[in-house]
Amino acid sequence: MDSPPRPTPPDRTALAALIADIAPGARLLHVRRLRGGLSADVHAVELQLLSGERRKYVVRRHRPAGRHALPADTERESLLLSLLWSAGMPVPEPILADAGGAYFGVPMLVTAYAGRPLVQPRQPQPWLRQLAEALCSIHTINPERHDLSFLHTKLAAGMGEELARGLPPRLRGMPLAEEVHGVLTRRLGSISWPAPTLVHDDYWPGNTVWVSNKLTAVVDWTDAQVSDPRADVSQCRIDLTAMHSEAYADSFLDAYQRSRLDGPLPEVWFFDLFRGLRALGSLDRWLPGYHDIGLTHLSLAPMMARLEQFLHHALERAH
């Protein structure tokens, strides 16, 4: 199992320069690491403004060897956050983007602090309903109504290319993986495709933040693209299954389908299989992130058992 990268606090001199630009005259009160970020160093920074008001910001610095360390990635995310904030979507207010690394030597994004993740709710049904409704609102952003030309587009052809490459080495010879890959390959040409929308592409409870049991924002838009909305639905279903149970995943899907103004999405099972196949080979790498965000009771064997059962049920729907 991979260990989480060692987090590094922001350099105080660089942080002082940043504060002078986003809140001139403000006094630094606290710096606190925010858990759950495995591809970036994320910290909450609390300031006291000249007016006496206290205000929190989130400073996210991409790691030099991370997947999104290129300046273009931060530029793209900054553009998207501005678009979503202007459209009234549940995202944190964008404050400053430093794609060139002028402050910390790496691409960096500053947003307003919007809350903290909630991953073990005392009342699961309202929690699942809010997760579903937030995702439905995100999926109303589409290329017909908004300029999303700065994002990558991945539709059926991209899925076909991924399937054509075959199973990754660690899944070869695994009967369940072989069966899922075979079904996906055979059925790809017969699947119906809704109009593409904005897709977060890493939508799970750890990328949402909450205040007083209310979902306030969806965060970490580094993987966003124009694609099929079912990709987000199934990804969240898989994480819910791994974190809690398949019953959580099914309740989330029911709430999502009821919230859609355009009617329920068809053939979600196909994306359950597609995303689930990826998860089969990645669950051990996800586990440190689950632990870091507070789900320390989780262990790999029961998570894998839940995922395998989830895939067997998706295969039954496929047949």
Q: Is residue 226 part of a domain?
A: yes
User: Where is the domain boundary, 46, 81, 112?
Assistant: 112
SS3 call for 60 = strand
- Please check the confidence at residue 143 and state whether its pLDDT lies above 90: yes
Rounded to whole angstroms, how far apart are CA atoms 66 and 76? 16
- Contact residues for 238 (Cβ-Cβ < 8 A; gap 6+): 249, 272, 275, 276, 279, 307, 310
Mean pLDDT, all residues of the chain: 95
pLDDT band at residue 70 under the 50/70/90 scheme: confident
- Contact residues for 89 (Cβ-Cβ < 8 A; gap 6+): 137, 138, 141, 218
Are 292 and 164 in the same domain? Answer: yes
Are 89 and 162 in the same domain? Answer: no
What is the rounded average pLDDT of the residues 137-152?
Answer: 97
pLDDT band at residue 257 under the 50/70/90 scheme: very high
Least confident of 21-35, 62-76, 172-186: 62-76
Are 137 and 270 in the same domain? Answer: yes
Rounded to whole angstroms, how far apart are CA atoms 158 and 162? 6
Token code pair at residue 268: 């979600």
SS3 call for 112 = strand
pLDDT band at residue 100 under the 50/70/90 scheme: very high
Are 234 and 278 in the same domain? Answer: yes
Are 106 and 151 in the same domain? Answer: no
- Which range marks the domain in which residue 83 is found? 12-112
Are 74 and 154 in the same domain? Answer: no
Angle at 119 between CA 118 and CA 123, to 5 degrees: 80
Query: What's the pLDDT at 37?
Result: 65
Rounded to whole angstroms, how far apart are CA atoms 76 and 143? 16
Q: Is residue 90 part of a domain?
A: yes
Rounded to whole angstroms, how far apart are CA atoms 265 and 136? 11
Are 133 and 34 in the same domain? Answer: no
Are 80 and 225 in the same domain? Answer: no
- Please check the confidence at residue 1 and state whether its pLDDT lies above 50: no
